[in-house]
Structure 1
Amino acid sequence: MSPNGSSSKMTALMDSEIYQALKAGQQSALAILYDRYGKLVYGLALKILKHSQEAEDLTQEIFLALWRSDIYDPTRGSLSNFLTIMTRSRAIDKLRSYNTSVRFFERWSKIIPTETLTNTPFEQASVAERSQKIRQALAQLSTKQRQILEMLYYEGLSQSEIAQQLNIPLGTVKTRSRLGLLKLRQYLEDFMS
């Protein structure tokens, strides 16, 4: 029997049967599940994240997780419900993570000196101290982490755009930005409070 014949027979199977075929190593099962539920996952991700590239990235993450691990239990409910819950949960996690980073940089930007002239020696000293702390914090980062954070927050690029510009995987951009933010937060935490 040809691979196409077995694939077309598989499309008539129930989700739980296709999932079992996926777990048994039949790669065509993932394509069938993606065809069935890719639009559902992407649509929900886009509705929550409001950014097409982020929704595409999350859709890929969801189906890779389905393929690589035993996270779905067919006895506990339908695959469509499972994918909906998983997509919603991970999208909200991404928003929370993004909002935490934005709040951190909003607080951080308040201590960055502006172009305005200060009137008193005390204000000048305060601006100089903040500038020095920020330079020291940025110096603690690796060149690659600093570059990605500058592209994210000063140039306003998305992580996907940075990955394209630097010709590196999106996961690498996400890891470097997360690690850089954690180091900055740790270093500047006492200073900002």
Structure 2
Amino acid sequence: MGAKDIAESAYIRAGISMLYAHWEGFIKKSASYYLEYVNFKKAKFSVAADTFAYLAVKRDIDELSKTRDHVFGLRVYRDIIKKMISDEPLLFSTEVDTGSNLNGKRFLSILSATGVSESKYEPYFNLIDEALLARRNEIAHGQFLPVERDSFLETYDDVIMLMRWFKTDVENCASTDSYLQKEA
């Protein structure tokens, strides 16, 4: 292996780490900005799509599931019901948690939280988990991982495509008010 091959191998490994960082940061920020947008629109519970109504009561549900105190639990339950039938605007956390490892399962959760359909992304979950995240983790933890140039370029193209899809889908969600219930 010559100096040129060694340098190319190092650049490819660095490229995987950078590609992963770009992937995670882009998805996390884009989703968070969209959730901020939905919060800003102040949609009412009565017309909000289920995923956003759920986000608005998630903290209450978490509290409810942890308590053993019936009086407290009943109060939280009544608060949830009151919110669900009220005309008060949604308000929820816009924090997006990737766990510093944006794998297919966490990405699916982000897709669900933003109301973006997962159907076209699902075939790429293995790519996210294996070709991107697993490789990044191996490299970041000091393992020497030989990666072929063509394999890296294919992963790069696919990840950039996924990010473009997500950008377009989030923009479409915003422009079509998909945070609201669909009329029957």
Interval of TM-score (by shorter of Structure 1 and Structure 2): 0.3 to 0.5
| Structure showing greater relative contact order (alpha-carbon pairs closer than 8 Å, 6 or more residues apart) | 2
Give the TM-score taking structure 2 as reference length: 0.32
Q: Which has the higher helix share?
A: 1
